Amino acid sequence: MNSNDYLAIIPARKGSKGLKNKNIKLFNGKPLIYYPIKAAMKSKFIKKIVVSTDSKEIAQISKKYGAEIPFLRPKKLSGDNIDSYSVVEHCIKFFKKKNFTFKNFILLEPTSPLTTYSDIDKAIIKLNKNTSAKSIVGISKTEQQHPKFSINYNKNSFIKPYLMKNFKTIRRQEINNVYFFDGSLYVSDVDYYLKKKTFYHKYTLGYEMPKWKSFEVDDKVDFLIMENIMKNKKKFI
């Protein structure tokens, strides 16, 4: 496989506590799983698209839209507490046994349907240009949720500033930018990821997403917000 070719892994287990059948729930007329598959298919770097699932229904729908389903996830990788590393490791080991090797991969979540092929390609280009970098992940600027605006409770149940010494009116223009991991995309060198077991380390770059693309579908509120954004996305572009 060419070193510039990428494997796309899309994890999509059955069930969801926050939103029933989330990964195949219709979102703007298409199942949620459709969007990362579509984005990956249009990328000029991605050569193989695999959906890692434990569901025959999700597998069937994913195949319909062009993804490969070379396996169904074993039960030990199907619980609520299974981390991304275990899913990625399982997928990579499967292909290694088939003598299929690759240098890079991208993880795309169905819960980030606003991520486009353009985001994927721009992130990969940014990663490739930095010879020291091993990973790049989607990030977004924290605004209303900036830590300096945060509060918690004191022992008497009164609110108190979380970071500041006292309550003080602060304008957003007066504080430094802070970013959060928005889940929009994760790209990495395969060997380095397997070594570190994470995308996050000192050789990780950030690919900054605009606010309207930073939401993730975790519950009904997220779903309704993002579906409305999707329907009106031309207003943001």
Higher pLDDT, 70 or 151: 70
pLDDT, tens digit, 9 for 90 and up, residues 35-54: 999 999 999 999 999 999 99
pTM: 0.90
Quick one: what percent of the chain has pLDDT higher than 70? 95
* Rg of the chain (C-alpha set): 19
Cα(84)–Cα(11) distance, rounded to whole angstroms?
8
- Assess whether pLDDT exceeds 90 at residue 101: no
104 backbone dihedrals φ, ψ, rounded to 5°: -130, 155
The rounded mean pLDDT for the chain is 91
Q: List the single range of 2-6, 24-28, 209-213, 219-223 with lowest mean pLDDT.
A: 2-6
Across the range 167-176, mean pLDDT stands at 72
Residue ranges and CATH numbers for the domains of the chain are 6-142+177-235 (3.90.550.10)
Give the residue from 182, 191, 92 showing the smallest Cα distance to 134: 191
pLDDT, tens digit, 9 for 90 and up, residues 172-228: 666 788 899 999 999 999 999 999 999 999 999 999 999 999 999 999 999 999 999
Q: What is the pLDDT of residue 2?
A: 45
Q: What is the pLDDT of residue 34?
A: 98
- Assess whether pLDDT exceeds 90 at residue 144: no
